[in-house]
Amino acid sequence: MNRRSLALVVAVLAVVVVLCGAMVVLPLLMLGQARAEAAACDLPSLPDSPVPGAGSWGSTETTNAAVIVSVGRQRQVPPRGYVIALATAMQESTLRNLANANVPESLSLPHEGVGRDHDSVGLFQQRPGWGSVRERMTPSYAASKFYEALLRVDGWQQMRLTDAAQAVQRSGLPEAYQKWEGDAEQLAAKVLGLANIDDIGGGAPMAPCGVDDLGPVPVGPGGWVQPIRAGIVSPFGPRGGRLHAGADLSSADIRGKPIRAAAAGVVEQVKCDWYTTCDRDGNTSSRGCGWYVDIRHPGNIVTRYCHMIQRPEVAIGQQVTAGAVIGFVGSSGGSSGPHLHFEVHLNVPPGPFHANSANAVDPVSFMRAQGAPLGPST
């Protein structure tokens, strides 16, 4: 970071510290940040309040749809997942939380219709292996279990909708989900207040929280997106007698902001790079990336994200989509204030620990070439 922006960050922090009292307040700050983030990611209506009907769907069905989409967001499922979940519930229950005439307990729980298929209940007609009767008839639980299973299906985002749904449901009518695709796309867009679900990548890997959250960032042909919208406060290049191997991105309110995978890939490293804990702010008296993540992308490209506020949200070996939240901005490790230190490495031999300053390139020119330039706006 340069001196001026460092001074700004220090000033902002000083005010915050004076107002609230340092470390005690950090969880509160993060809560506030989480709220701000939630506002940007929020559905137009709370899942537990009735949502007006949309298209041919009544308020009951649309409210259930909002719950399904909301749970998907909370779980950071790519938007394609909302569409698959909605199409599945449309086929299984026409989006009504169904009791079952064969399951007496289900009739005593709140329900919106009665089915009689085996011992299946709820929006997704889940059988006993998925949870208790009460759990399966709780829409948020049922949706959560559906997504959990969907995310375990290899390559689900590239499948036909009905194949992905069937991999989860193992229904007797494997083709039956496909006919709901258009309806599901429209209803997903409707409950999100979007004109078109493709705006947030109803099929393509893009930002999980949509255009309002990440902003209309350019997505290059290879699917690259900005890891964060913030200004460059210290560029790639020689600094203090050695190579500053990345670009520092920051703004006055950057602490706690989500950091996103710049492209699809596999998490190669998740580590605290500091001589002591990374769960608090570091300093500049020694080097270190703090909490950081390396992601390996096709073509032997590795991106690195440093100084996160807490243990990253991803694990080694995890597949991530472009725009998936991998952690939150902090100042852990050798850092002068909250910022994202972002690195790009090319021609990195397979295996961890091969991304180093010898194969680091300027992230600014690299990201510009991918059609996703770094910076506070587009």
**112 to 131, contacts with Zn ion by CB under 5 A?**
none
From 156-164, 168-176, 183-191, 341-349, span contacting Zn ion (CB under 5 A)? 341-349
From 89-97, 148-156, 158-166, 338-346, span contacting Zn ion (CB under 5 A)? 338-346
Cα–Cα distance, 378 to 55 (Å, whole number): 34
150 versus 249: smaller Cβ distance to Zn ion = 249
CB of 284 to Zn ion, least distance (A): 10
255 versus 341: smaller Cβ distance to Zn ion = 341
| 248: contact with Zn ion by CB under 5 A | yes
From 53-61, 72-80, 241-249, 343-351, span contacting Zn ion (CB under 5 A)? 241-249
From 95-103, 111-119, 176-184, 336-344, span contacting Zn ion (CB under 5 A)? 336-344
Cα–Cα distance, 171 to 165 (Å, whole number): 9
CB of 289 to Zn ion, least distance (A): 9
CB of 13 to Zn ion, least distance (A): 18
From 43-51, 151-159, 296-304, 337-345, span contacting Zn ion (CB under 5 A)? 337-345
| 341: contact with Zn ion by CB under 5 A | yes
257 versus 341: smaller Cβ distance to Zn ion = 341
| 304: contact with Zn ion by CB under 5 A | no
CB of 82 to Zn ion, least distance (A): 36
190 versus 341: smaller Cβ distance to Zn ion = 341
Minimal CB distance to Zn ion: which residue? 341
Report the C-alpha dihedral over residues 155, 159, 165, 169, rounded to 10 degrees: -60
CB of 36 to Zn ion, least distance (A): 25
Binding flags for Zn ion, 200-229, as an x/- string (CB under 5 A): ------------------------------
Chain residues binding Zn ion by CB under 5 A are 248, 341
